[in-house]
């Protein structure tokens, strides 16, 4: 009887270990984590590209009410922690290494331009992380992506509420915008496109289950046909629900 009991315990332990191993991040998550690292690192670099002191920020609209200096210091700190978090999780995944990304941002001509650019960055990074969550089946990875997306979504909402009289529209037909990695890698002066920075740094991970991710205004779906995977669920306006803004309109590249 003891032999059968011991054998049952070994079989159960083996099943638990196999199940645990199946849920752990593995080599198929490397590109997803590298893409997340690039998004997070881009945001961190943006926030450290400009001296965010009172002398500079006092020229922004609503500067005193928004308490930009203190809040921007906190956002900078949160983004630095985000980079550390992706690197920490990636260190446990075979084959992961941080991509060699070199992001440079021209100085903003004035505080309002910086705040406007910050909103674009945070909206895009948040939406990119939301879309990226569809490209993993590992709970640890999806948990981190959800946490980072919430962080950037909160930062975007704070800035947007301070710079727009109505940031949350009563006639919206979409949840917070989300973007697939392939859309993020597109170049152009629109929210949701960061290809100008990322295209030489990372590549889009393969679609989950070999399929294409399509993001609608409310849910995401998988489609076995087509290539690339695109679409965005936008927070405002337009039949497609895509949130469109000028991206860094005052910068020259």
CA distance 106 to 118: 13
Using CA atoms, how far apart are residues 76 and 50, in angstroms rounded to an integer?
Answer: 11
The pLDDT of residue 75 is: 98
- Structural domain total, the chain: 1
In-domain check, residue 21: no
On whether residue 250 sits in a domain, the answer given is no
Q: Does 17 map to a domain?
A: no
* The predicted structure's pLDDT at residue 140: 96
Residue 211 lies in a domain: yes
Residue 8 within any structural domain of the chain: no
Whether 153 maps to a domain, the answer reads: yes
pLDDT tens-place string over residues 196-218: 999 889 999 999 988 999 999 99
List per-residue pLDDT tens for the chain, 253 residues long.
565 565 555 555 554 444 555 677 778 899 999 999 999 999 999 999 999 999 999 999 988 889 999 999 999 999 999 999 999 999 999 999 999 999 989 889 999 999 999 999 999 999 999 999 999 999 999 999 999 999 999 999 999 999 988 899 999 999 999 999 999 999 987 899 999 999 889 999 999 988 999 999 999 999 875 444 444 554 433 223 333 333 444 333 2
Whole-number pLDDT of residue 242: 35
How distant, in Å, are the alpha carbons of 44, 129, 154, 166, 179 from that of 161? 21, 21, 10, 7, 22
What gap in Å lies between CA 216 and CA 206, rounded to an integer?
19
Question: Is residue 199 in some structural domain?
Answer: yes
Confidence at residue 3, expressed as pLDDT on a 0 to 100 scale: 54
Tell which residue, 151, 153, 174, has the closest CA to residue 243. 174
pTM across the whole model: 0.81
CA distance 117 to 196: 15
Residue 40 structure tokens = 């997070």
What the block records as the tokens of 20 is 């645990």
* CATH (domain of 67): 1.20.1260.10
Domain extent at residue 56: 27-233
Rounded to the nearest 10°, the torsion over CA 147, 149, 153, 154 is 20
pLDDT digits (tens, 9 = 90+) for 10-52: 555 554 444 555 677 778 899 999 999 999 999 999 999 999 9
Is 19 within a domain?
A: no
């Amino acid at each position: 009887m003891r032999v059968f009991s011991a054998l049952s315990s070994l079989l159960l332990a083996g099943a638990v270990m196999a199940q645990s191993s199946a849920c752990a991040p593995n080599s198929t998550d490397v590109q997803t984590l590298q893409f997340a690292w690039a998004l997070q690192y881009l945001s961190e670099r943006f926030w450290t590209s400009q001296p965010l002191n009172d002398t500079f920020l006092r020229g922004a609209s609503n500067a005193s009410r928004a308490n930009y200096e203190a809040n921007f210091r906190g956002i900078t700190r949160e983004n630095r922690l985000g980079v550390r978090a992706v690197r920490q999780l990636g260190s446990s995944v075979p084959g992961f290494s941080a991509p060699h990304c070199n992001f440079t941002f021209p100085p903003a001509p004035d505080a309002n331009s910086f705040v406007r650019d910050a909103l674009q960055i945070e909206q895009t990074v948040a939406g990119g992380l939301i879309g990226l969550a569809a490209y993993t089946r590992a709970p640890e990875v999806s948990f981190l992506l959800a946490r980072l997306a919430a962080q950037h979504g909160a930062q975007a909402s704070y800035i947007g509420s301070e710079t727009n009289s109505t940031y949350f529209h009563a006639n919206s037909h979409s949840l917070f915008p989300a973007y697939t990695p392939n859309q993020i890698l597109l170049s152009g002066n629109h929210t949701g496109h960061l290809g100008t920075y990322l295209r030489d740094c990372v590549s889009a991970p393969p679609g989950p289950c070999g399929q294409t991710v399509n993001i609608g205004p409310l849910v995401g779906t998988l489609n076995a046909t087509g290539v690339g995977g695109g679409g965005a669920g936008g927070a405002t306006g337009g039949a497609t629900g895509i949130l469109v803004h000028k991206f860094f309109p005052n910068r020259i590249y």
